[in-house]
Amino acid sequence: MSLEKASESSVHALATPSEHGADVEAVPELKRAASRKASLSAYMTIAAAAFGLISDGYQNNLMTMTNVVFKKIWPKEYTSSVSTRVSNALLVGTLVIGQVFVGLICDRVGRKAGLVITTVLIVIGGILATAAHGAHGSPQGLFWFMTVARGITGVGTGGEYPASSTSASEAANEKMIRNRGPVFIMVTNFVLSFGGPLAVSVFLIVLSAAGQNHLNTVWRVCFGIGIILPLTVFYFRMRMLSPKLFRESAIKRRVPYWLAVKRYWRPLIGTCGAWFLYDFVSFPNGVFSGTIISSVTKSGDIRSTAEWQLLLGAIALPGVFVGAALCNPIGRRNTMMIGFCGYLVFGLIIGCAYERITKIVPLFVVFYGLMQSMGNLGPGNMLGLVSAESYPTAIRGTCYGLSAAIGKTGAAIGTQAFTPIQNNLGKKWTFIIAAICGVVGVLVTYFFVPDKTGIDLADEDEKWLAYLAANGWEGDVGEEDEIVLAGDAKEDDRDSATDEKA
């Protein structure tokens, strides 16, 4: 049915509560309670996205110091190919199932379903990684166990991208449309970026408590703490509602994907292509940054490497705030291009002067951190935002998930190619290639990424429905959940009243 018919049906259902076992006098109060719950749920959705994605950031950066620890414990067994396989497992799970499949679930079933599924998978993967063990103490068995566990975790963390980000963008559009961009950035890329320093800080604390003679305990505790983060939001996600935009504009059956491709092929090229380039550079430089710093310092001391790694993550964070401040005044597209230009500038500086700059470790870490900070300022901040704003609500999760999945393809290729590039071309070429990716990123962004700064997401939904109607598509639009909403609200009010009497 049409959007208007869906709304009329819901209002009629509330206007005739006797058919559903409710008193006529209770209808206004039920509506008010439902409205309060919907309003609270929007803020809860935004907060839950932040807490959910910080666990993603933590999981994404766990292998940074774990690679260093594994190399220390098993110097012969933990070869570069094994390190790449274990590090890539998260990406494969993220790409193959997490982002694409959960993106589809978010659109076809609901935002809430996607969020709950991702939380459960991250917890299961975290438990398995913490308990990883090889048969008869075999290191190779442990590495394969870790590969599988990280793959399961990857499905969950990958699903968080479309599930949390689309929900947060729709909820922010509902409550704070003018500041939708900065709010979205702070509850997505900021917490994802903060996951790096958080993971290293936890590592340093656990290392100080356990000591360098108990490195097996150190990495297991770090993985175990990663289980706690997603559990903090599980209850709230079970209680939340899907955002209003989704309830009004969802298409759960007979989704016209071909019409979507015909209408949105250009922004799809833009968001997929730019995300591929960004993750190709940023992810391997994140995963192997601990290894890079360890090779530069030449000390071999794990604590020293972790401390430099923490400084690197701290330098990279301010770019998030600068990008959040710029995205409204100069627009999403211009901000993204500035960030890609940062890859060009700092990639060339480090790459062309690698032999000299690495002799001054603090200077190298500062420039390395500034390159990552520019990545955060531009594509790191903007890609999620433009991927959420460029598409209508009915296919937002699918297109966002596809764009992020193509990005993780770039991350997997970059991670796989990182060590061969260093071995065959030289370590400086990883930075020179980052500079080349920056140039291509500027071009892709300029020609293919739309700028939706300040536009109400509901406007694109209206244009999408008009386009479907003009092309002869007929189907159901929206959800009829107001009766359930009212019932839940009434139950909540009764619970509150009982608590007050108690």
Q: Give the pLDDT of residue 489.
A: 37
- Pull the structure tokens for residue 280: 């190709």
Q: Give the pLDDT of residue 497.
A: 42
Q: Give the pLDDT of residue 50.
A: 83
Q: Give the pLDDT of residue 180.
A: 92
Task: Give φ, ψ of 329 to 5 degrees.
Answer: -65, -45
Per residue in 76-92, is it b (16+ CB within 10 Å) or e — as a string?
Answer: eebebebbbbbbbbbbb
Q: Give the pLDDT of residue 32.
A: 56
Fold of domain 22-242+256-490: Growth Hormone; Chain: A; (1.20.1250)
Q: pLDDT 10s digit of each residue in the chain, 502 long?
A: 444 444 344 333 334 344 444 454 555 555 555 555 566 777 888 888 888 888 888 988 888 888 889 988 998 899 888 888 888 788 777 665 778 888 888 888 888 888 888 889 999 999 999 999 988 889 999 999 999 999 999 888 888 888 888 888 988 888 888 889 999 999 998 988 888 889 989 999 999 999 888 999 999 999 999 898 888 888 778 777 778 888 888 898 888 999 999 999 999 999 999 999 999 998 888 767 777 787 777 766 788 888 888 888 889 899 999 999 999 999 999 999 999 999 999 999 999 998 898 888 889 889 999 999 999 999 999 999 999 999 999 999 999 999 988 988 898 888 888 888 888 888 899 999 999 999 999 999 999 999 989 889 999 999 999 999 999 998 888 875 433 333 343 344 444 444 444 4
Gap between the Cα atoms of 190 and 208, Å rounded: 27
The domain locations on the chain are 22-242+256-490
Gap between the Cα atoms of 124 and 116, Å rounded: 13
What's the pTM? 0.81
- Residues 74 and 139 sit within 8 Å (Cβ to Cβ): yes
Q: Give the pLDDT of residue 95.
A: 61
Per residue in 311-333, is it b (16+ CB within 10 Å) or e — as a string?
Answer: bbbebbbebbbbbbebbbeebbb
CA separation (Å) from 267 to 249, 327, 397, 446, 451? 20, 18, 15, 11, 10
User: Between 381-389 and 257-287, two packed helices, what is the crossing angle to 10 degrees?
Assistant: 170
Q: Give the pLDDT of residue 17.
A: 42
- Residues 427 and 293 sit within 8 Å (Cβ to Cβ): no
Q: Among 157, 100, 410, 152, which residue's Cα sits nearest to residue 274?
A: 410
Q: Give the pLDDT of residue 80.
A: 81
Q: Give the pLDDT of residue 313.
A: 85
Ranges of beta strands (E only) in 196-342 are none
